[in-house]
Structure 1
Amino acid sequence: MLPIIGHRGRRRVAAENTIRSFEAAANWGADGVEFDVRRTRDDELVVVHDATVDRTTTGDGRVDRLSLAEIQSLTTGDGETVPTLEQSLSAIGETALEIWIDLKDPDLVDDVVSAVTRHGLAERSVVFAGQKFADDIPRRAHDAGIRAGITIGPALAGRYGPADPFAVIETLDADALLVTAEAVTDALLREAIDGDVHTGLLVDC
């Protein structure tokens, strides 16, 4: 059975990348959640997709130019606040969800790996950088017993070209693949199984 991974939680019923969204995904029956991590001006890690808070909160400005206190003084459309990585891992740790963490800057990998390890969530976590993949992410993740992944989509354009994702996985020594419903095929799933590549289906739920 292909694990169903809620895209930024269950964002159809709760604000994306919030604790409520992650809890809603668990209650709905998702096997995991995907979320995004960025660094604030004061070096804290927060769970937010965009480079700015404009779209998802009542405020505006770049995440990396705002302090954690400034960001958490804002609210989402349904009154939630932007959670820190620590808050998110604590909440998800109370569930059985897999955790797929999209590093919006590959330089976050060591801090994210440390946080996942502290929470005892290494065995059910995957780290990846969907937009800026760094070759050494798999090694640094694997050293802590955490899977490293890639995504099928724009992340495979440019540097790696319109490549076979499994060739990219082999080149990078990654071991996980996050695929959208539009991109999944029977042939892809068979190759993932044959290659022992942990694969999740990313859905908007």
Structure 2
Amino acid sequence: MLPIIGHRGRLRAAAENTVRSFEAAAKWGVDGVEFDVRRTGDDELVVIHDATVDRTTTGNGRVDRLSLAEIQSFTTGDGETVPTLEQSLSVISETTLEAWIDLKDPGLVDDVVRAVRRHGLVERTVLFAGQGFVDDIPERAHDAGIRAGITIGPALAGRYGPTDPFAVIDTLDADALLLTTESITDALLRKAVDRSVRAGLLVDC
């Protein structure tokens, strides 16, 4: 069965990319959660999609120019705070969820790998970068026994041109593929199975 991956947790039950959204996704019964990681101005890793905190919190400013304390002084629409990567992995480690981690900044791979290993999530994690910082992920992830993936979307097309995603997987030596409801086809799924590529379906749940 194709694993169902909750987009930024469970968006219909809690603010995106929050501890509450991951807990809600686990209770709802999805197989995994997709979430985003960025680096703060004081070198901490936080789980947030945008380059700024403006859309998702009560604050404003660029994530990479704010300290962790500043970011966590803001709240989301339902009173949650932006979690650190450590806080998020701690919650996920208490569930059966897979973690599909989208690296939003370059240079995050090694720090994220170390965090994943600390929480015992090596076999349940896929690292990828939807915005194009993908080239160094597979080798560094595979060295730690972690899967490395790609996702089909505008960023992939913009970086590599319109191409078969499995050609990109070969180019990058990746072994996982995050599909969207718009991109999924029987042919892609059959090829993933034939190639032993870990596929997941990203859904807003």
Scaled to the shorter chain, the TM-score interval is over 0.9
Contact 2:141 2:147 in 1 (8 A): yes
Quick one: which amino acid aligns to residue 13 of structure 1?
A: A
Displacement of 1:156: 1.5
Q: What SS is found at the alignment partner of 1:200?
A: strand
**Which contiguous aligned blocks of 4+ residues in structure 1 show a shift greater than 4 angstroms?**
none
1:131-156 alpha-carbon deviations (Å, 9 max, x no partner) = 02332210000000000000001122
Q: What SS is found at the alignment partner of 1:99?
A: strand
Quick one: which amino acid aligns to residue 65 of structure 2?
A: R
What are the ranges of 5 or more consecutive residues in structure 2 without an aligned counterpart? none
Contact 1:106 1:132 in 2 (8 A): no
Aligned to 2:38: 38
Q: What SS is found at the alignment partner of 1:82?
A: coil
| 1:113 partnered with 2:113 | yes
Aligned to 1:84: 84
Contact 1:149 1:175 in 2 (8 A): yes
1:30-72 alpha-carbon deviations (Å, 9 max, x no partner) = 0000000000000000000000000000000000010000000
Aligned to 1:131: 131
- Matched residues, percent identical? 83
- The 5 A counterparts of 1:1-205 are 1-205=1-205
Alpha-carbon distance in structure 2 between the residues aligned to 1:175 and 1:143: 13
Quick one: which amino acid aligns to residue 44 of structure 1?
A: E
Q: CA RMSD in A?
A: 0.7
Quick one: which amino acid aligns to residue 49 of structure 1?
A: H
- Identify which range, 110-119 or 157-166, moves more after superposition: 157-166
Alpha-carbon distance in structure 2 between the residues aligned to 1:60 and 1:2: 38
What are the ranges of 5 or more consecutive residues in structure 1 without an aligned counterpart? none
Displacement of 1:12: 1.3
Name the TM-score, length of structure 2 as normaliser: 0.99
Alpha-carbon distance in structure 1 between the residues aligned to 2:137 and 2:7: 22
1:134-188 alpha-carbon deviations (Å, 9 max, x no partner) = 3221000000000000000112222310110001001100000001011100011
